[in-house]
């Protein structure tokens, strides 16, 4: 089932933690992957990329395979200590109208990336350069594993200051409905707490 634009709009208003909980405490990418700038948020359909460690030429290729609003989700073959993404690639991705990038590895040009405003989520900043092997074995839009989560092309990717969650496209409608219910329930609980009730009473733990 494809993710509709309405689903994306509704999901973009929800925290990643709520979506993770609504998905049965699943879908969370490694906690080391965080926004390069704390205000970055991303929500879109995944374009998956698996490249050889220490090489980013397939990320360049993926920018031009993706459609406006897509999010690149990049596996680096567990080779984290490289700056796979920087100023030039953010410029290209902005020109293509992409929604963001999630890299299981490093980025660089951190100050510039924050100023650009293009959402970059990575394991941190790393100045170590990358290679450009045009003949390397790699792929785009095939499933990739990020931590313990398998991400397929077209899956929902949502990122905020807490981290990144991935939800299979076929489950988005159910998870979205559950997440919206959870947000409404939590809003009601907060009002009860503000009214003087205790968390022990609210949750029945007394």
Is residue 46 helix, strand or coil?
Answer: strand
Q: pLDDT above 70 covers what percent of the chain?
A: 100
For residue 112, the Cα-to-chain-centroid distance in whole angstroms is 20
Q: What is the phi/psi pair of residue 25, to 5°?
A: 60, 45
Whether 103 contacts 34, CB under 8 Å: no
On whether 108 is known to bind a ligand per the annotation, the reply is yes
Pick from 39, 17, 32, 38: nearest CA to 165 = 17
**Pairing status of strand 100-103 against strand 120-122:** parallel
On whether 163 is known to bind a ligand per the annotation, the reply is no
Nearest-Å Rg of the Cα atoms of the chain is 18
Residue ranges per structural domain of the chain: 5-203
Specify the CATH number for 5-203; select among 3.30.465.10, 3.40.50.720, 3.40.50.300, 3.50.30.40: 3.50.30.40
166-205 per-position pLDDT tens digit: 999 999 999 999 999 999 999 999 999 999 999 999 999 9
On whether 109 is known to bind a ligand per the annotation, the reply is yes
Q: CA–CA separation, 60 vs 141, rounded Å?
A: 14
For 54-69, what is the mean pLDDT? 96
Whether 167 contacts 156, CB under 8 Å: yes
On whether 88 is known to bind a ligand per the annotation, the reply is yes
73-124 per-position pLDDT tens digit: 999 999 999 999 999 999 999 999 999 999 999 999 999 999 999 999 999 9
């Amino acid at each position: 089932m494809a993710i509709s634009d309405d689903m994306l709009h509704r999901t973009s208003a929800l925290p990643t933690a709520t979506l993770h909980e609504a998905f049965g405490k699943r879908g969370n990418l490694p906690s080391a992957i965080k926004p390069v700038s704390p205000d970055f948020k991303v929500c879109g359909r995944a374009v998956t990329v698996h490249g050889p460690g220490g090489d980013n030429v397939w990320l360049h290729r993926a920018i031009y395979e993706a459609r406006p609003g897509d999010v690149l989700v990049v596996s680096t073959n567990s080779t984290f200590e490289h700056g796979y993404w920087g100023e030039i690639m953010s410029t290209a991705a902005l020109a293509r109208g992409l929604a963001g990038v999630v890299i299981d590895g490093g980025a660089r040009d951190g100050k510039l990336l924050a100023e650009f405003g293009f959402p970059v989520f990575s394991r941190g900043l790393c100045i170590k350069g990358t290679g450009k092997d045009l003949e390397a074995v790699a792929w785009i839009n095939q499933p990739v594993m990020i931590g313990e989560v398998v991400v397929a092309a077209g899956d929902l990717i949502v990122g905020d200051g807490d981290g990144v969650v991935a939800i299979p496209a076929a489950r988005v409608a159910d998870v979205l409905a559950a997440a919206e219910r959870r947000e409404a329930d939590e809003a009601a609980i907060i009002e009860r707490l503000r009214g003087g009730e205790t968390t022990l009473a609210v949750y029945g733990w007394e």
